[in-house]
Structure 1
Amino acid sequence: MKKKAITLKNEEQYYYIDTEKGDQIIVLLHGNMSSSIHYKPLIERFKGQYRVIAPDMRGFGDSSYKKPIDSLHDLADDVLDFLRILGVKKYHLAGWSTGGAIAMSMAIKAPNQIDKLILIESCSYRGYPIFKKNDQFQPIVGDYYQSKEDMATDPVQIAPMVQAFETNNVAMMNAVWDQAIYTVNKPSKEDNDLYLSETMKQRNLVDIDWGLMTFNLSNFSNGVTLGDGTIHQIDCPVLSFWSEQDMVVLEYMVDETVEALQNVKKITLENSGHSPLVDCPDKLAKQIIHFIQ
């Protein structure tokens, strides 16, 4: 899958996949520790029927990371500018995991552009919690890190991953995906090698993790930041997927968002984990196509 490149008004360079042909447009936003390439199973199933546009967001894949992000909303602004430059004015928008938060932000910032919103194993509209750890390295539920610097020292979720990126420890990254993400099916060796090579290009892990902790569209605090109450501004139809074997995004996180939205349908996927893109791509594509037709 060949990527193209354009430069945004903030001078960041965005690399992206664009299948170019199709009456309707679907924009796909990847999650943390991934890139546009991780959408390969969906792109292959949508190609020809829909024009698919999938960017590597700032600090991921081949895209630049000249200016560190302050929040996930910065990435929403990036993608909106990216689509403006491409001349794309109406589209369906899908976000996987962290990409779901960015997609929700875009739906608030540009409601007239988005026809339908698809959330795939998305973090909550109240962000994603990272708790402090006790002496046994277990999470102390309710005890949140209060600064990016403290969070970066987390001995389980953050520091080891930062080290894996810094030392290009592909074997460790492979083990993490194998144990936490691919809980049902595994990609082919060829695809797995491709996905891992894209994952290892990430340069913004701590900023993204802090962005997840501070993301909050609710009317109340999430333990780290006060919400801005903007979730109620999302009025487009929403389809939200949650997989029964997801070990990363728990069902209560998805349900929080579903309960806060006005026009939403939740689909529970059986025999699937955090990556239905790998576990059940046919079923996922079929449900998305049915939703946007």
Structure 2
Amino acid sequence: MINMIEMEFKKMQVGNEILAYRECGEGNRTLLLVHGNMSSSLHFDHLMNALSDEFKIYAPDLRGFGHSSYHESFDSLKALSEDLEYFVDKLRLRDIELVGWSTGGGIAMQFAADNPDITKRLVLLESVGVTGYPLYLKDEAGQPDLSRPLMTKSEIAADPIQVAPVLEALSKGDSAFYRALWDAAIYTGAKKPAVEDYVRYISEMLLQRNLVDIDYALSRFNMTNLENVYGKGTGDVKKIKCPVVVVQGEKDIVVPMSMAEEILDHLECEKTLKVLKNSGHNPMVDQLEKVTSIIIG
């Protein structure tokens, strides 16, 4: 049985929203953890426990996730990055080391690009690529038609494979659906969470209210100068100046290795790739000790 340290659970007014966040640690380094889609800051609990001697740690629930508010919808990951700017400014944080997981990796990259003066280091865990995660119309077999991207939020909400079933599960509080989905897509590596942890994680997953906004924002995310079906990117990836560590599980079927390679290809700063064997989309469960070691550096 792992002895878990006590974590403070707080809330803060951030613009028009209230962000809930977990805080712990006594170290002299500052760590900001940014969670991904279909999750919350709770998914970092064992990682926070493992890093608490080295870091002072802050892990917010992003807008529309977990216990944070969702007063305003959004169209971009930059909007969530700006929430974090308010958050760190109110806490007067500097020399921040960011860890972004999955969708949180895109938000963390945007934050690092927009705030190079206070961002010391960036660790990306199974991060979305710098040209986003587009969604396409599905054929009768459920396969995407790459010539027909989903352009509007209503089209995304109606997607019969990736979105509509999740929206229905959220509306019904269907924990069995979520467990089956995560067993199939997320926990494809060495381990699954302990039973009691899994129950807690799913209860927080079901608090999400922004799924269509997030999927729309991911499809439009593009920090490069390249043009895709949604238009030309912002080029913001070139503004990232801090060292970046890209962590990629070899068994991740949600974010493929090509996205990690894409990030590395476009970064112009110091960069490193760490490949985790027998690890899927949640390395905090599959390879906690290795992830802890990488973050400590």
TM-score, normalised relative to structure 1: 0.96
Partner of residue 4, structure 2: none
Answer yes or no: is 1:222 the counterpart of 2:228: yes
- Give the superposition deviation at 1:142: 4.3
**Matched residues in 2 for 1:145 and 1:127: separation?**
13
% same residue:
39
Q: Which amino acid aligns with 2:256?
A: L
Question: In 2, Cα distance between the equivalents of 1:95 and 1:222?
Answer: 24
Rounded Cα–Cα distance in structure 2 between residues aligned with 1:141 and 1:255:
21
Cα distance in 2 for residues equivalent to 1:69 and 1:281: 32
Please say if 1:282 is aligned against 2:289: yes
1:242 aligns with 2:241: no
CA contact (8 A) 1:127 1:222 kept: no
Report the aligned-residue RMSD.
1.1
Where does structure 2 lack aligned partners over 5 or more consecutive residues? 1-6
CA apart distance, 1:160: 0.5
Tell me the CA shift for residue 143 of structure 1: 2.8
Q: Quote the Cα distance in structure 2 between the aligned partners of 1:137 and 1:70.
A: 26
Pairing 1:194–2:196 present: no
The aligned residue for residue 63 of structure 1 is 68
User: Residues 215-255 of structure 1: CA distance to partner in whole angstroms, max 9, x if unpaired?
Assistant: 11111223223201111111110000111100100111111
Number of aligned residue pairs: give it: 289
Between the aligned partners of 2:125 and 2:205, the Cα distance in structure 1 is: 19
Asked if structure 1 preserves the Cα contact closer than 8 Å seen for 2:114 and 2:239, the reply is: no
Q: Which of 208, 213, 225 is residue 207 of structure 1 equivalent to?
A: 213
Distance 2:172 2:230 in 1: 31
Do the aligned partners of 2:62 and 2:68 also contact (CA within 8 Å) in 1?
Answer: yes
Partners of 2:8 and 2:203 in 1: CA distance: 15
The answer to whether the Cα contact below 8 Å between 1:232 and 1:260 also exists between their aligned partners in 2 is: yes
Report the equivalent of 2:16.
11
- Alignment-mate amino acid for residue 225 of structure 1: G
Within 5 A, what are the aligned runs for 1:1-293? 1-8=7-14, 10-184=15-189, 185-262=191-268, 263-290=270-297
Q: Which residue of 1 aligns with 2:3?
A: none
Query: Partners of 1:182 and 1:222 in 2: how far apart?
Result: 31
Q: Distance in 2 between matches of 1:259 and 1:226?
A: 18
Deviation at 1:162, TM superposition (A): 0.6
Letter in 2 for 1:70: D
CA distance in 2, matches of 1:105, 1:142: 28
Work out the CA distance in 1 between the residues paired with 2:164 and 2:206: 15
CA contact (8 A) 2:237 2:266 kept: yes
Displacement after TM superposition at 1:20 (Å): 4.9
For 1:84, the aligned partner's letter is D
